[in-house]
Structure 1
Amino acid sequence: MNKITQQIKSSSVLLISIICLLIGQTAQAQFTLSTQKRNVDDLSDAEVSMFMEKAQASGMSESEIEKAALTQGYTAADIAKMRERVANMQLIPATVDPFQKNNALDKGNLQQDIRSNKPTYYSPRVNTPVLQESIFNIEERKLLAKPLNIYNDSLVTEYNKLQERASNSLNKKIFGASLFQNDKLTFEPDMRIATPKNYQLGPDDELNIHIFGDVLDNFKVTVSPEGTVKILNLSPIYVNGLSMDAASERIISRLRQLYQGLNKPGSGSSAQVTLAGVRSIKVTLTGEVNSPGSYTVSSLATVFNALYLAGGPNRNGSFRNIRVIRGNKVVRTLDLYDFLLRADQKDNIHLNDQDIIRVGDYENRVELMGEVKRPYIYELVKGESFKDLLRYSGGFTEKAYTYTINVRRNTSREIKLLNISQEEVETFLPNNGDVYTVGTIIERYENRVEIQGAVFRPGNYAIEPGLNTVKELIKKSEGLREDAFLNRATLTRRKENYDPEVLSIDLGKILRGEAADISLQREDVLQVYSINNLREKRFVNIVGEVNAPGEFEFKEGMKVGDLILLAKGLKESASYANLELARRIITHGTADPKAAKIEIISFAIDGSHKIANEGNQITLQPFDIISIRRAPNYEEQRSVKILGMVNFPGSYAIENNQQRISDLIKRAGGLRVEGYLEGGKLIRGTTTVGVNLKEILNNPSSQENLQLMAGDELTIPRLLQTIKLTGAVQNPLAVSYKEDFTLKEYIAEAGGYTVNANKKKMYVTYANGVSNQIRKFFIFKKNPRIEPGSEIVIPAFPENRKKGLSAAEAIGLTSSLVSVSIAIITLINNIPK
């Protein structure tokens, strides 16, 4: 909610009128409520402006408007929302606070008509808390020195940001302040609960009187300003100040004048009195609250409801000394810490009309920072100690340094620093303005040592009785692993200046008692090395015809047969003879550079993996590589396909490497009658192989009869009866095959050549994929033959092809020829005669 408009008292009637007009209309200066409640969020800015004008013209008093709104079910939250809507639309001029009349900042025409377009000055200090920090006072004064046009809200926005900065800076650390700044909390009284037993009736309360049994009747009455209710011809019944039980008993007693025996045993008729509607009351909030003033609330409202409407205690307000004054007497003193810390609402009493809630000034406020669960500014009452302050903050965090706690205390002249020891926590009494800082423990161990490497339980250990030496640390870690390297270990420790140093120790001698044990110091790290980590990773490799070739970890005693089993056995294609083992020749020191670096061992196995077999029992060494080759006569099944016009199309296995195309056609049952041999194609991979099937079948020994390869696909189509023309013809199409047609006649059926046709490059592609072009011999030209299924292709010249020489090129060529001619004539003339 905008803090400026929220605190302008002179606008309260207007704003409440706007809220009420959300549920009503004006007609002839009469205010009539509508039957349907409107939602504030659903209203447009135009509707809000219209309601403002109607509210001013309604002529109703403030109390009448409030009563109408409450009757229709509108709450204090609705009024608050409407105030915010109005504040967002425009800035309402304020009436100067009497206490600030002489303030130079408040001078200006503050009573300017809100609809005028004249510049005006606005004082945000009216009814607002005084800022404590000088930087905000300075910025505020600079801002107030500028004229403010109420139709240009840039300065309003600027001031709002300044107010927000100040509020956040001053209030965000006060424990409990956020309770009254949370938009998700409303503290609205629940209107659907049963009437409290201690609720006292008053003017404007509505009662339902329901009579049932032998007699049926119902009355709805309202408590008059005189405190009475009127039923039929009975005299007024006084109920003001009575509880519901007492009022119900008094009303039923009077009703017995009309209905004999009412609510008595055996009478057959009963009556019940319930509360139908509650009245509105006025309470005043004064003292150190964010928005002091009078508020109209439900008669079921409590102290919390009123405090929330007023924004709670301000910067100087006390959270622990809130007094409810009724009839000039303090009837209850509220401590908000009871609710904040324990959810205790014992002092959250229901309010009565004309109650006054006064928030006093705080007396003792301290700040707690650092490693506590709730670092805030807390208010302490007389007699509370630092232990109580810790309880309010939720106690220390897990990283809190509790040995001493720093205190910054204000004296009459300067600042003084104090330290609270652990023994003083319960007795130390805080002073107003104290700042307590709880530090963080140091990330450092006072008795830690660490052991790493080849032990069964590496990790951190504490130096303590029974664990003070290297030997005792190894014992505590449950001893060395079998792969521990005993000849050398390293002990890393910190020198006095915290520089690291390394001590090399013979671990084997210490454990055997041949060398003195070494005492441990704080932060020592003992590293025990593993033999496996001190040498290259050892493996053996197997490649070739095994099911899972690859690299395997070397183990002492591993044999060739063991490695074959690790590789999941031999493939069927594996050769049992001529296996090869490649072994490194390792020499430490100087060696002949011409000497062999690798030893090659050839051997054979029987394939049964028997231990008795000599080849399987060859012992392996680290980094050996076993190669198992493919058997020379091993052949996997290969297949070809024949499709189309044969009697048995499908896939056929290649029996041997000598099988040819004619053999495949024969195995497929030969050609069918409609088969077109000239159109047969052989597809090998992604390539079309042109074959002459007629030549192959007539002469199987012909070179056309190719040997078959795995994956070949032979296709023999049905007799084709069309000729296709593509390329640079007027109408590319397919025409029927005519045995006596020439090439020229076929082209004529396609409309002839196009302008850019390259007639010399024309060619014919036959159904089997083979192409033929025009052949010339001197002046003679032979066109290719046309067969069924052929495609006549006429290429086209490029579109950017030059058709002749340009003028410049012709002139240049002529000049060159003239120059050459002159040179030849000159040469001839100079020949000696």
Structure 2
Amino acid sequence: MLRNFKLMLMATIAMWGMIALHAAAITPSPQMIEQFKALPKSEQQRLAKQYGVDPSILSSGSRTTTIQNPEVVAPRKATNNVVDQSESEGLNQATKTKSSVEALESKKEKQLKRFGYDLFAGEPTTFAPVSDVPVPSEYMVGPGDTLNVQLYGKEHNEFTLTINREGVVQFPDLGPISLNGLTFAEVREVLKRRIDQAMIGIQASITMGELRSIRIFVAGDAYKPGSYTVSSLSTMTQALFVSGGVNQIGSLRNIQLKRMGKTVGTLDLYDLLMKGDASGDMRLQSGDVVFIPPSGGSVGIKGEIRRPAIYELKNNETIADVLRMASGLKPGAYPKASSIERYKLAANKTVITIDLTTKSGLSSRVKNGDIISVKSSSSRIDNVVTISGAVIRPGEYQWSPNLKVADILPSIWGDLTISADLDYCLLVREINRRGDIEVQTVALGQAITKRSSKQNIVLQPRDHIVVFDYSDRKKLLAPIIAKLKKQSRFGDAVKTVNIGGNVKFPGQYPLTKKAKAKDLLIAAGGLQEGAYTLAAELTRQLASKNGVKSQHTQISLEDIINNVSAANVELQSRDIITVRTLPDFQETRWVKVQGEVVFPGSYSIQRGETLKQVLERAGGLTEEASARSAVFLRKSVQRKEQIELSKLSDELRRDIAARALTKDGAIIGFADAQLMLNELENVKTVGRLVVDINAINMGIVDANIDLENEDEIYIPAKNPTVSVMGQVQYPSTHRYKQGLKLEDYLNLAGGPRKRADDDRVYVLKADGSVMMPSSSLWYSDNHPIEPGDSIIMPLDTEYKDSLTLWSQVTQIIYNTAVAISAISSI
């Protein structure tokens, strides 16, 4: 018996494996699954491996299939009901007219969408019935429905039974069973009872299979009215979905279900959308008609509400009902100043102001076409004190009666930054409903440490405390000064004062309440080093009918600092205090002495100190020093040379362009000219000033010079060489030999090139001066070549293009190169 069973099972699996070659998936029968489970596990694995069957399919039962319904509704074609933002932004102040503004406002009204219509904003693509709806127990079975019956226990079998037109199913071995008029729950009880009576030892699992389709009609103001085939489980809302929903004039609140010519139900979609109440969504029967009448009245609501839209009216709703439909007000709403735009009988509009905080306002009936506008509240905060500047936690704080500065900023270390100015803090206070301000000075350190002092001011609502630091004040002062200037009306003097001169933070400051001269000194951060305290100048403008006069008064800063009350004058608008600097006071000046001196380094100097004095402070020159080759650099000379070099470059560029336009213009190529210009522009001047150290050491007064800040003196070592540069065959440096002349050194460098201008050869002396020979290549014995000299053979500019500026260019380049070479050798 077991052998026959195995053979039958193997044959079944083999046949199933052959079928699997031709099909992507197959569902084994319950009998096959039970037989497979009865085999030992090793036998199951062998059979599965032999015939290529997934054992998980057999061991876990039939493969789960996912029910996928076709897409029956596709999105409708988009319609542009939104106001173009660019059009709104394009109406600037210059182009706004009454008609354009009215047109824009009209478009904004149309921008309100009708509530709920987006839910069904689609159109049908297929009439296939929906089949993935769960079957409830109270479902009334009927002709066309199928039942899946699975028998297990003593025997295993599976049947698919279809209810015929008489409401009867033909059950194998049990005969016909009438199910007419029964619910799905009752069907299961009937079938299980018959199976228990007729088949001993067998249990049954009964589920619904394919459901019957019914034919219904969607009429009225549907997007796609017509006849539709739907599932027998479909409801009114599903009928709306498959028909594409409601069109723009259809009602969402009075959708009717008509059966046999009578209205058997009404669906208000607002209950479903706003409350989740689907009690009115009745199930459809074959031949039912879902009728969508036109919508009734409508009301729009906009402004500071959660869901602005156009809502359909049904039963004489009030404004309170409309607010509930719009989900209520936003936190920033100001319902007291709401308004209603309403059409009158004369076919024009009127505006009604309504208070939505009162019972009478909320109970007001709305009418068809009304547009309710809920205004926004002011962004101004009343009970607040603002802190900004050099504080750790800037921002807004709650105001309360008797609140003082030290209550908000109780700790210097815990609430202020390290750089906070404890002597100067401003309290900006609004003095009227127009937002005009007055400014008071607060000594913040005293207010925090001595809470009983007058500096610990009692605060008022909307006060603004500005804490300054010791680095920058302009950024925090700018909005305060701008506000003071703006609030000056009818020719009133702007409440600002100025302080300049030798103070830490000169500039314009607010004129604080009862401010005196010392307050302005504190605001400016105090005096700088070298300030002249015996007298400062107070400039005051005196206005009269004939004009304005300036009055200059001398005030003693020393008395003001020492709290002499008579000297501490009270300030007026537009007063100016100028703090002078001590005569002959100067900041520390430095010069650098390097090279062959006994004590090289940086030395501080006073005004009028000379080069000779600094060299003496540096210990004088060493024995290896070459006094003739000293290089003296000065920043002011460097800046001047750079400016002149830029002018020369521009002049050269213009000259080249002008010559190129003439008929007998230059023959120089563009590349050569551009190369020379680039070399000239890249030259960095050094600012060398010719000095004669030997003459200075001999005591010749005219040779000595006064030093400036950042002067640099380089004393090189003795350099017994002579350099030959420029347009020679081999630019090189040669050892100095006494008795050799200019011509001799030129011959050592191979002589001049073809492009050399031997008539303009010159000698750049070791001290930076330039010596021109008395005649071409013959050099006078009165000016012999000396160690450290450089012989420069310039370019023949006439050979190139008759452009005489080329000689200046080459001279600048060579002279700068020689100076840099002398410095770098130290």
TM-score range, shorter chain: 0.3 to 0.5
* TM-score, length basis structure 1: 0.47
Higher helix share: 2
* TM-score, length basis structure 2: 0.48
Q: Which has the larger radius of gyration?
A: 1
